[in-house]
Structures are given as C-alpha cells and as structure tokens.
Copies of this chain bind each other. A is one copy, B any other.
Amino acid sequence: MRNTVPVEVSARHVHLSQEQIDILFGKGHQLTPLKMLSQPGQFLSEERVTIVGPKKTMERVGVLGPARKEGQVELSLTDCFSIGIKDAPVRESGVIDGTPGVILKTDLAEIQLDKGVIVAKRHIHMTTADAAEFGVQDKDVVSVEVKCGDRAITFGDVVVRVNDTYALAMHIDTDEANAGCISGDVTGVVIK
C-alpha cells in the first residue's frame, strides 16, 4: 500500500471571481498565467493585489487562477496576526461562510470583501486511483509525518480530498512549513 506524498507549501494568495477581476483589473480582464501549479489547470497569475488589513497592509500578494465563483483570501495565522485579522478560521478552500472580510486593492480600484479570509486546512489532493492505493476515502482525516531539517513534525487533522481532476500532493501553509523546516522537494508519510 502506498503511503508517501509530495508536500507542497502554499504561500499567501488570493482567489477572485470574474466580477472582482473586472473591478480590480478592468472590465473583461483575464488573469495571465505566470506559473502552472501542481493541480491541473491551476496557475499563479502575473496579477498582484494589496491586502489592506485593520492594522497593516500586505503588498504584492499573488492571485491564483482561473477565476472562481467567489473571492477567497488564504493567509497564514502569522499573516493574520500581522495585518490585524483576529478571527480567521482554519477552513477548507471554498468554505467561507462566516469568515472575516478584508479590503483588496490595485492601482485601479479597491473592493471590500465581506467574507473570504481563511487559514487553509491542511489537505492532500488525490485521484480516485490514488485513494484506492492509499486505502483512504474522500474527507478522511489522516496524519502526515515529515522529517527534514532539524524539525521533524507530524501533522494531524489532514483532510483527504479525492477528485479525478487532482494531482497527488499535500498542501500546507508557510507557518506549517516553517514549523517543520520544510522547503524544496519534500515527501511526507501518511499515517492512518
């Protein structure tokens, strides 16, 4: 049975709806792919936004494409404390009801999101075939052990997300990466 996954670190980023892209970058603007990500079709765009928090501003934050149904701002807890957002919950992507809002700004415009700031819940993307090999199912919660550098770490509360459009990868944020000295090509061991 397979039990190892590549571990990828997600830096703070923003997802936008087409309507938000229209406002922030101009009517009909399309995000320009700068770098394809591991998940098929997903990309880091050339576009950048400024996040205006209650306490501080964070400039040149990456926008991921393609456009989504709703805007979403994924920050680390360190980011949240730094810019003054106190109540951002740990959530799966797309589950943003009741989350705090924030202001996004470009040279062209500024919009107030009334929700959407989350700290991403750590997760593993995999296909149905991967899930069978790992002996897990969609929404299962597992642990993943990562040993690299001087900070061996085991992440609990890792959600498995199964979809045939995915590619096998665990996603963690920068706080989680730094707590484990994780950078570059790193592999984790799934513990059920």
Question: Residues on A close to B: CB < 8 A?
Answer: 76-78, 81, 89-90, 121-122, 143, 147, 149-157, 174-176, 178-181
Contact = CB atoms under 8 A, between A and B. Distances in A.
Contact of A78 (B78, B89, B122): B78
Nearest to A91: B150
A77 B152 contact: no
A151 B152 CA distance: 16
Contact of A152 (B147, B156, B181): B156
30 contacts: A76-B78, A76-B178, A77-B178, A78-B78, A78-B175, A81-B174, A89-B150, A90-B149, A90-B150, A90-B181, A121-B150, A122-B151, A143-B154, A147-B156, A150-B157, A151-B157, A151-B176, A152-B155, A152-B156, A152-B157, A153-B153, A153-B154, A153-B155, A154-B154, A154-B156, A155-B179, A175-B175, A175-B178, A175-B179, A179-B179
Given A76-B78, A89-B150, 18 more contacts: A76-B178, A78-B78, A78-B175, A90-B151, A121-B150, A122-B151, A143-B152, A143-B154, A150-B157, A151-B155, A151-B156, A152-B156, A152-B157, A153-B153, A153-B156, A154-B154, A178-B179, A179-B179
Contacts of A89: 150
Contacts of A152: 143, 155-157
What are the 9 tightest A-B residue pairs by CB atom distance, in nearest-first order?
A152-B156, A179-B179, A77-B178, A175-B178, A154-B154, A90-B150, A176-B179, A175-B179, A152-B157
Contacts of A149: 90
A155 B156 CA distance: 11
